[in-house]
Amino acid sequence: MQRFANLVDSLAFTQSRNRKLSLLTDYFLTTSDPDRGWALAALTDGLPLRVPLRRILPEILADIVDPVLYHLSRDYVGDTAETVALLWPDRPEYQRDGARVTLDSVVTAFATAPNSSHAEILKGLLDALEPSSRFALLKLLGGAPRVGVSARLAKLALAQAFEQPVSEIEESWHAVDAPYLALFDWLNGDGPRPDPGGRPVFRPMMLAHPIEDEDRTKLDPDDLLAEWKWDGIRVQVAAQMGEVRLFSRTGDDISAGFPDIVTAFTGRNCILDGELLVVREDEVAPFNDLQQRLNRKTVSARMVRDYPAHIRLYDSLQIDEKDLRDLPLIERRKRLEHWHRAHPPLSTDLSPLVPFNTFDELTHLWQNTRAEGIEGLMLKRKDSPYLSGRPRGHWWKWKRAPLTLDCVLMYAQRGSGKRSSYYSDYTFGVWRDAPDDGAELVPVGKAYSGFTDAELLELDRFIRSNTTDRFGPVRAVSPKLVLEVAFDALQKSTRHKSGIAMRFPRIARIRWDKPVSEADTLSRAQSLLKAPSLDKRG
């Protein structure tokens, strides 16, 4: 437990991705089975345990701490697991047993005991552990350590630690259950690569490159298929042997949040690639609606009804046990269409092909994507096999041109990691009324990218010499500098004072030359609000 607690601590305080990777690598190489497997599960998909902390904790805390002191502490610390870990009394006489507490012993204890004794078990464990292990334990049981480790990063760490291709790890990953003993046996060279057999597993996805001008001159339209680029999230749905799993682009299993999709695919035998959307009466809802469904471990019936999930399919990796990944796209597409026509699952449709003959025609279509509420175009070589990762020369994304607003820099915040000594996160605003009416600025967004290192230095200098107020890591800056901000879309938002929120904002240009009085107004910004989706193509 102590080793896992140390890992959780180090990961939580480390900003650098490479350092996180080396912490994980080191942990997997030096920790024995089955603990490293449980740790892997805890950091990624969660442990196969349901311990109702919300009910148990108040019960066991009642004997431990005065309720007033607990609430004052909880308010101060801001996190329940951390509060309990810190104020739980240290009992040296029990803590001698702490070294014997392993992840495996924790999982076994909870998995084999009746629910009614969970509180007693938890109490015993908290007594035996020191504060950082108590914290790790509670986070483990709570289901989300939140230490900035994605399934993808964990797989990369395994790949690095055991010198195996990450794509093979991704395929074997879901072939075994936590604590993944067969996976580690294979990685250690002590066993065969786990065969997913009949179980639905994640297949590494094929990703696209942004299209460059030179790509367009080199490509022959006859070699390409075009599709609309949808504004949802990329998913893989895998159905086999009565089981259905929905995976995100990084291989995180998000099935639990989408029972509607799981039901639609139950009994099917396929692995398909598509876009997860919220669709009501054939209309794609704004991304905001989809967001309501994301990052949930469970979802209420009401959520499912109000935000109905839908998959717009565009590729097939496997149908009826047959791996199609080596076939050319045009063939995979044909099989997908055939399969879908034969028995279309509920909540699915096919992403239509966009007919075109020349790049001029395509450019024309692309220019209209914004008006039609579509994110852009996808171009794919007809002969492209389904490869893992982001191979060059097969698929391209052609995102619609960004919108821009001239905004005024209002606040700057220190960055993190390498940027911690720089003011690198910028909050900017537009004028509420015409600038000469003694108008006020209202914040419309925040961005921390789009500028060069040299520009960052200049911005940092500007901020330090134009600070009007400080709030911890944030400085208020006197309104003197115009930033041209590019963003993909504007959405209505009740969380922001301005009533609007930007998607993917970044600094396009620093307008040292432009007087702030010429920055944009809120009414101009509102005119860019995303029009309701017009698309009914699906």
Partner 1 sequence: MTHSAHIAERWLYPTDAGLYCEPGDFFIDPHLPTPRAVITHGHADHARAGHDAVLTTSETAAIMRLRYGPDAVGRFETVAYGETHRINGLDLKLVPAGHILGSAQVVLEYQGSRIAISGDYKRSPDPTCEAFEPINCDVFVTEATFALPVFRHEVAQKEIQRLLASLRLEPDRPHLVGVYGLGKCQRVIKLLREEGYDDPIWLHGALISLCDLYKDLGHDLGDLRVVDTEKPGGTAQGIIMCPPSALGDRWSRRFPDSVSAFASGWMRIRARARQRGVELPLVISDHADWPELIGTIRETGAAEIWVTHGRDDALVHQLSQMGVKAKALALVGFEDEAE
Catalytic (active-site) positions: 229
Enumerate helices (H) and strands (E) in the chain, giving the number of each.
21, 20
**Which tokens sit at 334?**
């044909």
Q: Going residue by residue from 5 to 24, which x/- string records binding to partner 1, judged by CB under 8 A?
A: -------xxxx---------
Nearer residue to partner 1 within complex by CB, 57 or 378? 57
For residue 248, the minimal CB distance to partner 1 (Å) is 25
Binding piece for partner 1, criterion CB under 8 A, among 207-215, 276-284, 387-395, 416-424: 416-424
29 touches partner 1 by CB under 8 A = no
Which three-class secondary structure string do you get for 380-402?
A: EECCCCCCCECCCCCEEEEECCC
Work out whether 416 is an interface residue with partner 1 (CB under 8 A).
yes
Sort strands 403-414 and 474-477 into parallel, antiparallel or unpaired.
antiparallel
Closest approach of partner 1 to the CB of residue 39, in Å = 19
C-beta separation of 388 from 206 below 8 A: yes
Give the shortest CB-130-to-partner 1 separation in angstroms. 10
What type of residue sits at position 181? L
Please tell me whether residue 456 binds partner 1 under the rule CB under 8 A: no
Rule CB under 8 A: is residue 80 a binding residue for partner 1?
Answer: no
Helix (H) or strand (E) holding 470: strand 467-471
Pick 76 or 302: Cβ nearer partner 1: 76
Nearest to 350 by CA among 228, 209, 200, 532: 228
Among 79, 127, 331, 337, binds partner 1 (CB under 8 A): 79
Residues 48-67 vs partner 1: string with x where CB under 8 A?
-----------------xx-
Neighbours of 297 (CB within 10 A): 10
| DSSP element (H, E) containing 138 | helix 131-142
For partner 1, which is the closer residue by CB, 76 or 214?
Answer: 76
Q: Which of 344, 352, 417, 515 binds partner 1 (CB under 8 A)?
A: 417
- CB distance 17 to 153 below 8 Å: yes
Q: Which is nearer to partner 1, 115 or 420 (CB)?
A: 420
Q: Exposed/middle/buried for 515, CB within 10 Å: 0-12, 13-18, 19+?
A: exposed
State which of residues 418, 492, 497, 524 lies at the interface with partner 1 (CB under 8 A). 418
Are 403 and 257 in contact, with CB atoms under 8 Å apart? no
The site map against partner 1 for 84-103 (x = CB under 8 A) is --xx--x-------------
Q: Give the interface size with partner 1 as a residue count (CB under 8 A).
A: 28
Q: Which of residues 458-477 bind partner 1 (CB under 8 A)?
A: 472-473
Tell me how far, at minimum, the Cβ of 184 lies from partner 1, in Å. Answer: 25
What minimum distance in Å lies between the beta carbon of 347 and partner 1?
40
Question: According to CB under 8 A, which one of 50, 58, 72, 334 is a site residue for partner 1?
Answer: 72
Q: Does 76 contact partner 1 by CB under 8 A?
A: yes
Q: CA end-to-end span of the chain, whole Å?
A: 51
CB of 82 to partner 1, least distance (A): 6
Q: Does 77 help bind partner 1 (rule: CB under 8 A)?
A: yes
Q: By CB under 8 A, is residue 73 in contact with partner 1?
A: yes
Helix axes 17-30, 35-43, angle to 10 degrees: 150
- 299 φ/ψ angles, rounded to the nearest 5 degrees: -145, 140
Q: Which of residues 120-149 bind partner 1 (CB under 8 A)?
A: 131
Q: Which stretch binds partner 1 (CB under 8 A): 34-42, 70-78, 162-170, 495-503?
A: 70-78
State which residue, 30 or 420, has the beta carbon closest to partner 1. 420
CA dihedral 165, 171, 174, 178 (to 10 degrees): -20
Taken as a whole, the chain contains a residue count of: 538
The CA-CA-CA angle for residues 160, 164, 169, to 5°, reads 95
Query: What are the phi and psi torsion angles at 340 (to 5°)?
Result: -70, -40
Closest approach, Cβ 4 to partner 1, in A, equals 16
Q: Rounded to the nearest whole angstrom, what is the least distance from the CB of residue 90 to partner 1 in the complex? A: 7
CB atoms within 10 A of CB 206: 21
What the block records as the tokens of 524 is 């101009």
CB atoms within 10 A of CB 5: 21
Interacting residue ranges for partner 1, rule: CB under 8 A = 12-15, 65-66, 68-69, 72-73, 76-79, 82-83, 86-87, 90, 131, 414, 416-418, 420-421, 472-473
